[in-house]
Structure 1
Amino acid sequence: MHITGNNKEGTEKKFTIVGLWGGFILKPPAALYPQLPEVEDLTMHLAQLARIRTAPHSLIRLKSGNLAYITSRMDRNKKGKLAMEDMCQLTERLTEDKYHGSYEQIGKTILRYSATPGLDLVNFFELVLFSFLTGNADMHLKNFSLLDQPGLGMTLSPAYDLVNTALVNPSDDEDLALTLNGKKKKLRKQDFVAAMNTLKVADKQQQNIFTKMQKALPQWEQQIDISFLSADFKEAYKAIIRERATRLR
């Protein structure tokens, strides 16, 4: 196994497991951030309820009794490696600059390189809006990628690394990791509309994106209630979503 780390608070060490298991990433509990595996697994489930494609994932119980998060690598299949380029690579930025950029810039990069640009742009903005609603201020340039789909080409990969950072790291007061309409804080619906207008997303598509998330809200609360989170974390997670949702009215 080898370990890869992240630089921003609210993220965790990752162990890449190769060989016997194929290609999986295991994220054990983090002492500084209680219930981090449970939060990530739940957030990925919430994305699925919003009909956002995600990487395969699960919780596993360690010998200690604690839960760890495990996900399969998307750049592997039975035939071998698949090309996968994250937005740091596609925008020619260094990894240490992954928090320097904007979501509009990612959108333009998708339009330039994706084999299905229109569809991927809509899917991208759905994920950005979802990240805002679920308190995720860690969706930086390396957390969006284009993945080679055999017979199709490079398209937006399923979502990965989804964490409610506002829950596990409340000292971070940013709404998003990158700028949207020139802002990272105090975002409202008009900021998402402005960003989508910059990328010429049709009004009807914009409305569909907002409606899709609105319809998922009741299901999210039900999923949170049956999750592995503590009672306090369940209520805090729901409170974050409710507060963000009010800003989109």
Structure 2
Amino acid sequence: MKNTINKLDDLPLVFKNLLLENSDLINIKTPTKIEKLLLLQDTHGSYQFKKLKSNSHSKDKIHNYQDVKNEILENNYIFPNILDYKINISPERLNTNNKNNIIGLSGFQHKFSIIKDDENKIITPATNDSNYFIKPYNEYHLNFNQNLYIPCLLINEHLFMTIARDLGFSVPYNAIVKGKNDYHYIIKRFDRFGQIKFDHEEFATMLGFDTNTKYDATIIEILEEAQKYLSKIELKQLLSFIFYSVVISHGDLHSKNLSLIHQSNAFSESNKSLSPYYDISTTALYRLAEKNDIGMRIYSKKKKIKKQDFLKLAKKFKINDFEDEITRISQYFVNNFQKYINKLPDDIKNKPITQSRYNTKKSFKFILEKYYRQRCKYIKDKIDTSLVPDDNIFT
């Protein structure tokens, strides 16, 4: 930067969207806003922020992302992927961010980079760039009397990431690890191949939205931007994922949860393809969550979205045979969701979830099965009545 003193009133959006969405980073004092970037470690893509007068870009060997994608994702785990690993991380580090290792991945949930030692079955904090990070569960969110009571949130994410994988969507390796009162979540980074880093761009940044406006983007805006870079096949895959999100009631899907990844790690690379998907969960399990079927508007709606809305989108973007995708995804959910519940261990299925201020509790299995019936009713009413059997599924 040419000026001795940086006088930016605000960060450029591409950097602003790297900052965390909670107060941990905001409350750390720095002389200027741009110096907050120096607090970030292990940012997404190839961004690095250092106190240097000059820098040069990497001379790494160039890799095509599609050639190494499967090796990066390593997502052939068996559900539920529960790691019997020791977590050698202090409670303070699990519960709060600190100045020494704030991961440069934005989002609501606390997260930081880790070393996953498979030989010794131990998880420790990473001091440098890492290929894995952890989302610890939050004790505050296990208290029914708090504003946001979201127990089993990370089991929820592991479940719906896995269903997405089994439907053919690209997701990275992920797992859960049992903690004292809930489960932590481990996920592999999809923008790393060993020490090689691939840039990726969130639709929020591409469309000019920040953390505070990330839900304001519409699905049509997302698809219009995506079609500038994607083939018809990839555009159909993106619309299919959006439909999957509606089926499961992914009410937190926003424009920072969808992104494009550069097709190689070359510094000048401008071609992009669909990134693997991440941060997939349902909000329909939680009492105070907005009861939306998706976080962004589809023809002015976030709920009660119909099959015809998707067929209209498919026609607008010249996507063929999308009705087949609607049937495939809906039928898979209806026919298989109960099987995923059954695979969970008893301590998860029997985990008590508070239902009222009178301390009424139901098991997590009960909550999941109630959710399943609600989503089947949604599919029957709004998508296609023939896809849901006429039996006692709703009783």
**Is the structural similarity TM-score above 0.5?**
yes
Q: Which residue of 2 aligns with 1:110?
A: 226
The superposition leaves residues 162-202 of structure 1 with CA deviations (integer Å, 9 ceiling, x where unpaired) of: 01111135541222111112211221111111222221212
1:145 matched to 2:242: no
Partner Cα distance (1:35, 1:223) in 2: 15
Shift of 1:137: 0.7
The superposition leaves residues 80-110 of structure 1 with CA deviations (integer Å, 9 ceiling, x where unpaired) of: 2111001012112223211011111111111
The answer to whether the 8 A contact 2:209-2:217 is kept is no
Q: After alignment, is 145-154 or 219-228 more displaced?
A: 145-154
The answer to whether the 8 A contact 2:199-2:262 is kept is yes
Sort the Cα spacing of 1:2 and 1:86 in 2 relative to 1 into closer, same or farther, 3 A: same
Equivalent residue runs for 1:41-56 within 5 Å: 41-56=158-173
Partner Cα distance (2:158, 2:170) in 1: 14
1:24 matched to 2:132: yes
Task: Name the structure where helix makes up a greater proportion of residues.
Answer: 1
Shift of 1:12: 3.2
Greater relative contact order: 1 or 2 (C-alpha under 8 angstroms, separation 6 or more)?
1
Q: Among 102, 112, 121, which residue is 1:2 paired with?
A: 102
Q: Which residue of 2 aligns with 1:184?
A: 302
Corresponding letter in the other structure for 1:238:
Y
The superposition leaves residues 49-95 of structure 1 with CA deviations (integer Å, 9 ceiling, x where unpaired) of: 21211122111223x36311111121222142111001012112223
Q: Which residue of 2 aligns with 1:234?
A: 368
Partner Cα distance (2:226, 2:210) in 1: 19
Q: Which residue of 2 aligns with 1:196?
A: 314
Sort the Cα spacing of 1:5 and 1:145 in 2 relative to 1 into closer, same or farther, 3 A: closer
Partner Cα distance (1:186, 1:136) in 2: 13
1:95 matched to 2:229: no
Shift of 1:20: 6.0
CA RMSD of aligned residues (A): 2.2
Partner Cα distance (2:135, 2:286) in 1: 15
TM-score by length of 2: 0.56
Partner Cα distance (1:207, 1:90) in 2: 29
The superposition leaves residues 109-165 of structure 1 with CA deviations (integer Å, 9 ceiling, x where unpaired) of: 111123xx2121111111111111111111100000001233994111111100111
The answer to whether the 8 A contact 2:311-2:323 is kept is no
1:224 matched to 2:224: no
Sort the Cα spacing of 1:53 and 1:5 in 2 relative to 1 into closer, same or farther, 3 A: closer
1:61 matched to 2:178: yes
TM-score by length of 1: 0.87
Q: Which residue of 1 aligns with 2:52?
A: none
1:245 matched to 2:385: no
1:38 matched to 2:155: yes
Sort the Cα spacing of 1:79 and 1:26 in 2 relative to 1 into closer, same or farther, 3 A: closer
Gaps of 5+ in 2: 1-100, 115-125, 142-148, 350-363, 385-395
Helix, strand or coil at the partner of 2:216: coil
Corresponding letter in the other structure for 1:248:
I
Q: After alignment, is 45-54 or 32-41 more displaced?
A: 45-54
The size of the alignment, in residue pairs, is: 240
1:134 matched to 2:269: no
The answer to whether the 8 A contact 1:87-1:141 is kept is yes
Q: After alignment, is 153-162 or 228-237 more displaced?
A: 228-237
The answer to whether the 8 A contact 2:247-2:330 is kept is no
The answer to whether the 8 A contact 1:98-1:142 is kept is yes
Sort the Cα spacing of 1:188 and 1:170 in 2 relative to 1 into closer, same or farther, 3 A: farther
Helix, strand or coil at the partner of 2:285: helix
The answer to whether the 8 A contact 2:175-2:186 is kept is yes
Partner Cα distance (1:160, 1:237) in 2: 21
Partner Cα distance (2:367, 2:184) in 1: 17
Helix, strand or coil at the partner of 1:143: coil
Greater Cα radius of gyration, structure 1 or 2: 2
Shift of 1:5: 6.2
The answer to whether the 8 A contact 2:338-2:369 is kept is no
Partner Cα distance (2:286, 2:131) in 1: 27
Instruction: Give the share of equivalent positions with the same residue, in percent.
Output: 23
Q: Which residue of 1 aligns with 2:190?
A: 74
